[in-house]
Amino acid sequence: MQTLTSSLHIDFMGKRKFAMILSISLILISLASLATRGLVFGIDFTGGTLIEVGYAQEADPEAIRQVLAENGFAEAQVQQFGTPQDILIRLAPREGVKSAELSDKVFRVLSKQADGEVELRRVEFVGPQVGDELTEDGALAVLVALMAILMYVAVRFEWRFAVGSVIALVHDVTITLGFFSLFQLEFDLTVLAAVLAVIGYSLNDTIVVFDRIRENFRKIRKGESEEVINISLNQTLARTIVTSLTTLIVLLALFVLGGEIIHNFSLALILGVLVGTYSSIYVASSAVLMLGVSKADLMPVQKEGQQIDDMP
């Protein structure tokens, strides 16, 4: 049998049943959490007031949270923004109270409790109607992305690969959303952007694996589909690990040093990279194998009369 050189011989597909049990368990937990606990939407989706203030000296977000809670703003979300002197405060909408009134009251409370001067830099209001539109547009963006990916992979490879890639992407998005629901982390526009970025990252990794699978199906004359897929996964494993590790190093730096404003954004990307790397190996490839892909499905289509033209 003709084989391609590979120093690794890990039986990935031999462990696909255990991976399937793990994936199904994580998806069921995620769906149960999303159904019962839901997502904690930020004011980008729910509507509310955004207040940015600047302090003369370094501000303590925890102390500001405590001051606001003591003055009737227990639900306020306080984050450092940019420098240690800049604070971003998010307030949920209150019935019968205008945004200007809320911001004025918060500013008076902070000015009274601060040791130095406090500057009110900006106040923004996001209406509930805008929030509803963002929720619908965000869900639509994910759906359109998945449909476009399905058509792209079906044209470039074969319909089984298209279905496998979409299954992997749905797997990644569901687990990422389930994580945020399970731990009740705030879901705002930055996290939605991270989810869309996860789709792109996971698809890129999956396409690399699929490309090698197609190449090996055409080069290896004999061998079962499971064996060919295993060879392909071993050959692309080094590239997958290097790509994931370099990406994770950057994301971990953002998570630790980037401040609270991008904390959930970087967390979603870290989780997405980990889950996406796993799914490109086990979920996408296993789905293609279960759908019955074979060498005949990936051989180039010969045009009518081509054999006669090629004869000497």
Pick from 188, 205, 155: nearest CA to 39: 188
Helix, strand, coil percentages, rounded to 5, for the chain = 65, 10, 20
Name the token pair of 88. 């971003």
pLDDT value, residue 294: 65
DSSP labels, 127-175: -HHHHHHHHHHHHHHHHHHHHHHHHHHHHHS-HHHHHHHHHHHHHHHHH
40-41 and 83-91 beta bridge pairing? unpaired
- Domains of the chain (ranges; CATH) run 13-40+130-298 (1.20.1640.10), 48-126 (3.30.70.3400)
pLDDT at 7: 65
Q: What is the pTM of this model?
A: 0.78
Please give the chain's pLDDT, 312 residues, in tens: 344 445 667 888 888 899 999 999 999 999 999 999 988 887 777 778 888 888 888 888 888 888 888 888 877 888 877 778 888 888 877 777 777 788 888 888 888 887 778 888 888 887 665 567 777 787 787 788 778 877 877 777 778 888 888 899 899 999 999 999 999 898 888 898 898 888 888 888 888 888 888 888 878 767 788 888 888 899 999 888 999 999 999 999 999 887 777 889 999 999 999 999 999 989 988 888 888 776 665 655 555 554 444 445
